[in-house]
Amino acid sequence: MTYDITYIVTIAGQPVSVASADAIQAWLAPYEIQLDSTKIHLVQKYIGLLVFWNQRINLTSITEQEEIVTRHFGESFYFSRVVPAEKGRLADIGSGAGFPGLALKILLNELQVFLIEQDTRKSTFLHEVVRLLDLRSATVCRVPFESLAPEVGNFDFIASRAVGGHKHLLKWARGRLNAHGQVALWLGSEEAARIQALKGWRWPIIHAIPHSKRRVLIIGQPE
């Protein structure tokens, strides 16, 4: 599908062309997401920032705007179709370019997000997105997740799309979730099967991700 360039974002004094609102809505349709005009504008500005910064630092290997919308925004938004997450505290581990954490913050105004990203350049990008999109209750933590201050915890959700070493992550997450907290992982189906076999966790929610042959979203809790 092609898109019309109808929206221009100015980044550091330079115009960046991004996809139209209609194209973005069409690309998000398989994920059962409908955004109002305000949220569409935030997504467009975010895309502009991502395109601009990605020319200077390696934020993502995905460069086509349709794929940015589907793979990054669509897959992140899909979490909200699976789990009621309008409020609460979410830690995005290895946030990278801000997915799923900042995408979910755009979608869910009252969600508190903590973007855990140890890479200096990526965390600088996250700060810039938070600032320019005026996203309240979004905190960037430039540390490895294992070094996150103990008082930053009691999460309702711990999410990760890009971090390996899931056994280590799950061991850490057990002590940072609240009593009803859940972990959300975006995985290939083979890796998901290995995670499901781990003792001490139950994974009642497993959803195939729209427009993906192998990737799934799994939601689990400690036993």
Query: 92: domain range?
Result: 5-222
CATH number, domain with residue 95: 3.40.50.150
As for how many domains the chain has, the answer is 1
pLDDT at 3: 58
Judge contact between 75 and 68, C-beta under 8 A. no
Number of neighbours of residue 60 by Cβ within 10 angstroms: 18
Give me 223's structure tokens: 């036993």
Which runs of consecutive H residues, i.e. helices, occur in 83-149?
101-107, 120-132
pLDDT at 81: 93
DSSP tag of 73: I
Per-residue pLDDT of the chain (223 residues; tens, 9 = 90+): 555 666 688 888 888 899 999 999 999 999 999 999 999 999 999 999 999 999 999 999 999 999 999 999 999 999 999 998 889 999 999 999 999 999 999 999 999 999 999 999 999 999 999 999 999 999 999 999 999 998 888 999 999 997 778 999 999 999 999 999 999 999 999 999 999 999 999 999 999 999 888 999 999 999 9
Closest by alpha carbon to 196, among 174, 217, 175, 172?
A: 217
Judge contact between 158 and 90, C-beta under 8 A. yes
pLDDT at 153: 81
- Give the side-chain half-sphere CA count within 13 A for 30: 15
Sign, CA dihedral 73-79-82-83, equals negative
| Measured distance CA(210)–CA(151) in Å, rounded | 37
* pTM for this entry: 0.93
pLDDT at 2: 57
pLDDT at 151: 84
In b/e form, how buried is each residue of 121-147, taking b as 16+ CB within 10 angstroms?
ebbebbbbbbeebebeebbbbbeebee
| Measured distance CA(23)–CA(169) in Å, rounded | 36
